[in-house]
Structure 1
Amino acid sequence: MASVALARVSGSVLAVSARSGIIKNGPRAGEEWRIESANVLVADQNVTVVQLPRRDSTGTFENLRTRSVDKGDQVDYLVEVSIYGSEVQARVLDLWPDESDASELAA
């Protein structure tokens, strides 16, 4: 059984990378896939690699309301942390809600 946790990743983007390829088997064989990641310097102490959301048909990252994440950007993400195989993964779910958004949720 898989376990997940929610966490906050805030800091400066050091690098953005992408991997892509073609699905070889199954019902989606022949479709292209792309996974984009950002290396974020957290608390000026360590780097956390986060997997960015998929892009919609306009090229905008789902839930992030932006088309780009670039080196030097300051980010504040809500992430889902899980174990895949023997690796820890941090997948961006959304932007971390600002205080005004959080107070509306608590009401």
Structure 2
Amino acid sequence: MMANNLLARVSGSVISTPPARTGFFKSGHPRAGEEWVIETVNVLVGDQDVTAVQLPRRDVRGQFEGLGEVRLAKGAPVDFLVEISVFRGDPQARVVAQYPADAALDEASAA
């Protein structure tokens, strides 16, 4: 059996937060008529290249689910655990959580 997605780490600094994309679910969808919002952030990784990651939905307080009070201003450091999948032939990275601090410490001590 082959996996349809994989987990990866995206660490770097925020270079931009593009405007959110919005729309409405079409008829026939279980949430037809409801608005959807997709927010992304562009991260400079390893001073090499930019990776766009899709952020989780916002909770009732307006914070991203599972990220707490993450700072996404230009230049801010981020360290995300992301799920990578393919949608319509294009890879996409969706933020699952902050990269676990304990895992980062374990990796550093193993190196």
Asked if 2 retains the 8 angstrom alpha-carbon contact of 1:9 and 1:76, the reply is: yes
Runs (5+) with no aligned partner, structure 1: none
Q: Give TM-score, length-normalised by structure 2.
A: 0.82
**Pair 1:12-2:16 in alignment:** no
Query: What is aligned with 1:82?
Result: 85
Question: Which deviates the most, 22-31 or 55-64?
Answer: 22-31
Runs (5+) with no aligned partner, structure 2: 107-111
Give the aligned CA root-mean-square deviation in angstroms: 2.0
Q: Secondary structure at the match of 1:7?
A: strand
Q: Which amino acid aligns with 1:48?
A: T
**Pair 1:56-2:59 in alignment:** yes
More strand by proportion, 1 or 2? 1
Q: Give TM-score, length-normalised by structure 1.
A: 0.85
CA change 1:19–1:50 in 2 (3 A) is: same
Q: Which amino acid aligns with 2:6?
A: A
Q: How many residues align?
A: 103
Greater than 4 Å deviation, 4+ residue runs: 100-103
